[in-house]
Structure 1
Amino acid sequence: MKDLNRIKVVLVEKKRTNKWLAAQIGKDPATVSKWCTNKSQPDLATLANVAKLLEVEMKDLLNNINQ
Structure 2
Amino acid sequence: MQVVVRDNNVDQALRALKKKMQREGIFREMKLRRHFEKPSEKKAREKAEAQRRHRKLLRKRLEREGY
TM-score band by shorter chain is under 0.3
Q: TM-score, normalised by structure 2?
A: 0.25
Q: Which structure: larger Rg?
A: 2
Relative to its length, the structure with more helix (as a share) is 2
Higher relative contact order (CA 8 A, sep 6+): 1
Q: TM-score, normalised by structure 1?
A: 0.25
